[in-house]
Amino acid sequence: MGERSAWDRYWQADRIASCMDGAGQSNYDDRVAAGWRAFFHALPAGSQILDLCTGNGAVAIIAAETSSVHGRNFAITGIDLADIDPKRFVSRLEIIARDVTFVGNRSCETLTYADGQFDAVVSQYGIEYSELDRSLTEAVRVLAPAGKLRLFMHAKEGTVVASTKKAIADADFLIDKVKLCDKAASCFRAVRAFETQVSDAEAAVRSDRAFNAFRAALKATADRIDRATDTAMLRNTAGVLLHAFENRMYVPLEALLAKAAEAKQEILAHRLRQKALVSAAVTSARMAKMAAALAALGMADIGWSEQRPGAEFVGYLMEGEKRPG
């Protein structure tokens, strides 16, 4: 599975944001959302807004809410390289966000919009995944004179990256150490073979061996949960596979094996996205270089800062305004 297909898989589900939001159960909390509300509130009525790497529209939704509450009549477009369709997949998408134009399969390195088309270009935990030299150039190009740029990015030294690294270790544990999904599939095959044959001693031995290996992997997974970071992944994977085994008499073997394969693919895709996050996260040195690049591209009032609501270092913020003329 490639990184792009992993993100397609992720966003074609009922979730809004990718982190810091209760595992997609709601939009960003005030650690992130408060700054966006203030930013959009300061924009003039009728502003055209472009949200880069929008995912399922977390920031676009905040813009739409601000527009609705304060009567701003914003025109909001959200683009993403993934094959997104939030209006299809997100059940909690408010009516106001249905006015957002979402465009999938669109690269932020090669925008198709006209020069100066947007009054604001924004991104939340997204643009850092792109080729920044190209995407920053495009972001400035499509900004109108005096247009606002606001980019919130993962920090290499931040708490999100630190917790993500621990979550990657949890995925490594399931896939590479205890091999839970593989052992579940082996168990399904061996037990089904034994249960459908009569007085086959060798089948009985294979069944017992495979069942005991699966049970040991389940126990190891349960033992890890209390010290794990991604407890939901461990619980869900173990629960799905155990449920499949307990109900094996009611479904064909092919369905059982498909369930084990699907569980493994979910973990692999999850790990791929997490590794992409760690790789994409930026350092303070990279932020300084980005500020210099933006100045050379015609941006003014450029500022960047560490975002530390409470005790958490949740990312870097870059802001600027395009020079007139």
pLDDT tens sequence across 174-191: 999 999 999 999 999 999
270-309 per-position pLDDT tens digit: 999 999 999 999 999 999 999 999 999 999 999 999 999 8
For residue 289, how far is the Cα from the chain centroid?
26
Q: Is the pLDDT of residue 27 over 70?
A: no
Mean pLDDT of 260-267: 97
Question: pLDDT value at position 25?
Answer: 42
The pLDDT score that the predictor gives to residue 310 is 82
Q: DSSP H helical segments within 121-230, as ranges?
A: 132-141, 159-172, 180-195, 201-225
Question: pLDDT value at position 85?
Answer: 93
* Residue 63: CB atoms within 10 Å: 28
Tokens of 9: 């898989």
pLDDT, residue 264, reads 97
CA 165/CA 268 separation, integer angstroms:
15
Listed in sequence order, the DSSP H helices in the chain are 3-11, 30-41, 58-70, 86-89, 132-141, 159-172, 180-195, 201-225, 231-246, 253-280, 284-296
Residue ranges covered by each domain of the chain: 3-158+281-322, 160-277
pLDDT at 26: 55
> What average pLDDT does this structure show over 224-228?
96
State which amino acid sits at residue 175: I
| Tokens read off for 83 | 């094959």
For range 198-213, the mean pLDDT: 91
Sort strands 48-51 and 299-307 into parallel, antiparallel or unpaired: unpaired
User: What's the farthest any 2 CA atoms get from each other in the chain?
Assistant: 87
Amino acid at 101: T
Contact yes or no for 281/158 (Cβ under 8 A): yes
Best CATH choice for the domain 3-158+281-322 from the list 1.10.10.410, 3.40.50.261, 3.40.50.150, 3.40.50.720: 3.40.50.150
Query: pLDDT by residue (tens digit) across 83-141?
Result: 999 989 998 777 667 779 999 999 999 999 999 999 999 999 999 999 999 999 999 99
Q: Which residues pair with 151 in a beta bridge?
A: 123, 318
Q: Confidence class of residue 29 from pLDDT cuts 50, 70 and 90?
A: confident
pLDDT of residue 325: 72
Q: Please report which confidence band the pLDDT of residue 23 belongs to, taking 50, 70 and 90 as the band edges.
A: very low
How far apart are alpha carbons 66 and 47 in whole angstroms? 12
Q: What is the pLDDT of residue 118?
A: 98
Mean pLDDT of 157-174: 97
Q: Is the pLDDT of residue 225 over 50?
A: yes
Average pLDDT over residues 311-323: 95
Report how far residue 189's alpha carbon sits from residue 265's, in angstroms, rounded to the nearest whole number.
19
pLDDT in tens, 32-70: 889 999 999 999 999 999 999 999 999 999 999 999 999
Which pair of tokens denotes residue 202?
């060798």
Q: Residues 309-324: what's their mean pLDDT?
A: 94
Is residue 85 within 8 A of residue 9, CB to CB? The reply is: no
Beta strands 75-79 and 315-322 are unpaired
Residue type, 112: T
